[in-house]
Amino acid sequence: GQQVMQIPQYQHVQEGEDFTTYCNSSTTLSNIQWYKQRPGGHPVFLIQLVKSGEVKKQKRLTFQFGEAKKNSSLHITATQTTDVGTYFCAANSGNTPLVFGKGTRLSVIA
């Protein structure tokens, strides 16, 4: 079945440093979504990308969808302690259900 590979698995950064997580698929994706899960919490939707080459920004977060619609990235500029959590990408292609990557756990050291 469809798989979505997400790297890195863990990332430790000093507060103020940047952070990026990547999502890759071997198949062309219909759309990709990003979620954030705080420790002890549940996943919360951040954004959805559907167009080839799409770039969306939310304050310090920048989301990109690759030209071939097979990869995506989430970049956080100048991390803060409030950014701590696990970031998941989730994607589908055609009529397949949404498949989640294994997530990137971000730790921010103050």
Of 9 and 80, nearer to other proteins (C-beta) is 9
- Choose, by CB under 8 A, the member of 56, 60, 75, 102 that binds other proteins: 102
Residues 17-40 as b/e (b if ≥16 CB within 10 A, e otherwise) read eebebbbbbeeebebbbbbbeeee
By CB under 8 A, what part of segment 34-53 binds other proteins? 35, 41-45, 48, 50
Q: Is the dihedral of CA 53, 8, 76, 102 positive or negative?
A: positive
Cβ at position 95, least distance to other proteins in Å: 5
In the complex, what is the shortest distance from the CB of residue 51 to other proteins, in angstroms, rounded to a whole number? 11
Which amino acid is present at 72?
A: S
